[in-house]
Amino acid sequence: MSGKKNKKIDLKNLEPEEKLKYEIAEELGLLDRVMQDGWRSLSSKETGRIGGMITRRKRMQAEENGGKAPEAQ
């Protein structure tokens, strides 16, 4: 079994990419469920929506930074 399941998430000490993911989850009203039951508790539609919003924000940031494309994952 993975030890990740019981790991407590510190929202103040996250990498920028992770922080963005949690911020979007909060905006969509999904953060409480993620914190309680983990990312696996979300439907594919919900996770897809989060992913789409992350992509959109990265594109906006790239445009603001002179058109530089975001790094590929």
Which amino acid does the sequence have at 10?
A: D
Q: Quickly state the pLDDT bin for 65 (edges 50, 70, 90).
A: confident
pLDDT for 72 equals 54
User: How far apart, in whole angstroms, are the C-alpha atoms of residue 16 and residue 58?
Assistant: 11
Q: Quickly state the pLDDT bin for 53 (edges 50, 70, 90).
A: very high
Can you give the pTM of this predicted structure? Answer: 0.75
- Please count the other Cβ atoms lying within 10 Å of the Cβ belonging to residue 21: 19
- Per the CB < 8 A criterion, the answer to whether 39 and 2 are in contact is no
pLDDT digits 0-9 by tens, 8-49: 777 788 898 999 999 999 999 999 999 999 999 999 999 999
